[in-house]
């Protein structure tokens, strides 16, 4: 079975400050890891994904994440956030062409 | 860019009524999914569909739920007798064999009164 833990339910951060949203996973099979963003009253948009290869993955909107197999983590980072980054962020894991298992989400609030 | 579409965007129904939520996945995708998100909670898997049959379902997907691909483009989720607790946002997603990225539709907000 797979599971995802997002350690922070809410993260407030000032505009232009760096941010890290934490994600830990557990899985007994090969993992594919994803971060999705959900803006208010909208659907889910893929930010980035790790399938294989380089453990540092770059995504859209200046976000990046690092896959750490020994720590079973896939933390999301951005060096300088904007007001427009205010949203809910979901980490998810999959074993392949299988359903995604989502974490509970982290609400990022960027303060001007 | 191709996208997953869902209709309606918002559906209000009375308890005990049947609802059908519709999705048009991306045309060359082979794997289809339904997820739901109760307000303020995480996204939960309901069912996956491949090769014209259910490939996996969660414990949420009980006998009140069914899925169908009635033609080459639509993918539907039916709830036979809605309950108050079925109120949620329902997302359809699809992916092809090579890219494991699931593309999500904008969702249908179902409100059961």
Q: First vs last Cα of chain A: how many Å apart?
A: 41
Per-residue pLDDT of chain B (113 residues; tens, 9 = 90+): 788 999 999 999 999 999 999 999 998 899 999 999 998 888 999 999 998 899 999 999 999 999 999 887 899 999 999 999 999 999 999 998 777 889 999 999 999 99
d(CA B89, CA A101): 17
- Test A97 with B33 for CB contact under 8 angstroms: no
Q: Which pLDDT value is given to residue B73?
A: 86
Checking if the pLDDT of A11 tops 80, the result is yes
Cβ–Cβ gap A90/B43 under 8 Å: yes
Q: Which of A44, A94, A105 sits opposite B91 (nearest CB)?
A: A44
B23 closest CA partner among B112, B111, B108, B110: B108
CATH topology of domain A3-21+40-111: Immunoglobulin-like (2.60.40)
pLDDT tier at A67, thresholds 50, 70, 90: very high
For A30-46, how does the pLDDT look when each residue is reduced to its tens digit (9 = 90+)?
789 999 999 987 889 99
Asked if CATH classification 1.20.120.80 holds for the domain at B5-96, the reply, yes or no, is no
A-chain CB neighbours of B45 within 8 Å are 99-101
Q: Find chain B residues with C-beta within 8 A of A44's C-beta.
A: 43, 91, 104
Through-space distance between the first and last CA atoms of chain B, rounded to whole angstroms: 37
Give A110's pLDDT tier (boundaries 50, 70, 90).
very high
Q: Which of A3, A99, A107 to mutate to test the interface with B (most CBs of B within 10 A)?
A: A99
Query: What are the domain boundaries of chain B?
Result: 5-96
The mean pLDDT value of chain B amounts to: 93
Smallest CA–CA separation between A59 and chain B, in Å? 13
Domain residue extents for chain A: 3-21+40-111
């Amino acid at each position: 079975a797979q599971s995802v833990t997002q350690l922070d339910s809410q993260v407030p951060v000032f505009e232009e400050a760096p941010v890290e949203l934490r994600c830990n996973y557990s899985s007994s099979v090969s993992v594919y890891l994803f971060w999705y963003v959900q803006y208010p009253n909208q659907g889910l948009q893929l930010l980035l994904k790790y399938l294989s290869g380089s453990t540092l993955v770059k995504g859209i909107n200046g976000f990046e994440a690092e896959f750490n197999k020994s720590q079973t983590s896939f933390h999301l980072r951005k060096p300088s956030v904007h007001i427009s980054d205010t949203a809910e962020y979901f980490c998810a894991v999959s074993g392949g062409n299988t359903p995604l298992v989502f974490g509970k989400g982290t609400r990022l609030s960027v303060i001007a | 860019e191709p996208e997953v579409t869902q209709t309606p965007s918002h559906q209000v129904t009375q308890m005990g009524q049947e609802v059908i939520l519709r999705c048009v996945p991306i045309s060359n995708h082979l794997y289809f999914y339904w997820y739901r998100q109760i307000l303020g909670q995480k996204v939960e898997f309901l069912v996956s569909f491949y090769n014209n049959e259910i490939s996996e379902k969660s414990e949420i997907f009980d006998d009140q739920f069914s899925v169908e691909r009635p033609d080459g483009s639509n993918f539907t989720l039916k709830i036979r007798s809605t309950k108050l607790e079925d109120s949620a946002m329902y997302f359809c997603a699809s992916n092809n064999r090579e890219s494991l990225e699931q593309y999500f539709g904008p969702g249908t907000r179902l409100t059961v009164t």
